[in-house]
Amino acid sequence: MPGENTLLEIHDLHVGIDGNEILKGIDLKMGPGEIHAIMGRNGSGKTTTANVIMGHPDFDVEKGDVILEGESLLELEAWERARKGVFLSFQYPQAVPGLQVGNFLRKSVASIRGEDEAKGSVFRKELTSAMESLEIPRSFMSRYVNDGFSGGEKKRFEILQLMLLKPRLAVLDETDSGLDIDGIRTVSEGVNASIRGTDSAALIITHYSRILEHVQPDMVHVLLDGRIVASGGPELATKLEERGYEWLKEE
């Protein structure tokens, strides 16, 4: 039962693709204002978890549930989930040639937050200040969505969308990969500004603990072969950084 303080609940989630089971029973609970991290090696099911929360059609949910604010998301399409407040920062954001960044942002804000929120000087100020904090130049607005972007530009653009779309739940899939130290710091500040002190929550999916130094997670979960094998405070991330994942396998 999701309590008053539960924003997201994942319950015994089993997910497969093309007949192969990838997630083998995941449980997770997050409250408003919390930041959790899921760590794990390649192939452990991290990106699948992110995609299933957002509603990628390729994955089959065989069992379990994903509940946002007391409502199951599983029957909803990705765009409906987005309007309920789910956001995914993609590991590999897709290019859409010909679709201008400025236009896309305005349309996305309009569809998720409502037409009125995407108009006028308030929105323009919001946009300008978010771009400044992410050190994104104005010329960005007339470029095409992710078309010819560097790895770092793509990640900053994802966080810009996070800041403007103001989701209840932000899932960040490997947002730190492809970023240098300064990039990680900038992006982390964006995440902190969007979540800390609000009633939203973020689930950070990562390989390394670097980003977690800047975004202090409330909880760290370790994913291994489709199962969460350990959960703990931020110290768990440090331990993984020092000792790797092998010791968990042995336990």
Question: Where on the chain is the footprint of other proteins (CB under 8 A)?
Answer: 54-58, 77-79, 81-83, 87-88, 90, 92-100, 104, 107-108, 111-112, 144-145, 161, 165
Smallest distance, Å, CB 88 to other proteins? 5
Residue 159 or 240 with smaller CB distance to other proteins: 159
Smallest distance, Å, CB 110 to other proteins? 8
Residue 95 or 230 with smaller CB distance to other proteins: 95
Where is 26: in which H helix or E strand?
strand 20-30
Smallest distance, Å, CB 111 to other proteins? 4
Residue 93 or 217 with smaller CB distance to other proteins: 93
Q: Tell me if residue 149 falls in helix, strand or coil.
A: coil
**Residue 238: Cβ within 10 Å count:** 14
Smallest distance, Å, CB 79 to other proteins? 4
18's CB contacts (< 8 A; 6+ apart) are none
Strand partners, 230: 222
Output the six-digit token pair for 217.
């997670």
Distance CA 171, CA 44 (A): 17
Helices (H), 115-203: 120-133, 151-165, 181-195
What's the N-to-C CA distance of the chain in angstroms? 30
Residue 23 or 165 with smaller CB distance to other proteins: 165
Nearest to 119 by CA among 130, 128, 132, 109: 109
Residue 70 or 114 with smaller CB distance to other proteins: 114
Nearest to 175 by CA among 199, 145, 195, 151: 151
Residue 18 or 235 with smaller CB distance to other proteins: 18
Smallest distance, Å, CB 157 to other proteins? 12
Smallest distance, Å, CB 90 to other proteins? 6
| DSSP category for residue 118 | G
Residue 123 or 209 with smaller CB distance to other proteins: 123
Give 40-60 as a 3 state SS string: CCCCCCHHHHHHHHHCCCCCE
Smallest distance, Å, CB 162 to other proteins? 11
Output the six-digit token pair for 236.
């768990």
The answer to whether 212 and 206 are in contact (CB under 8 A) is yes
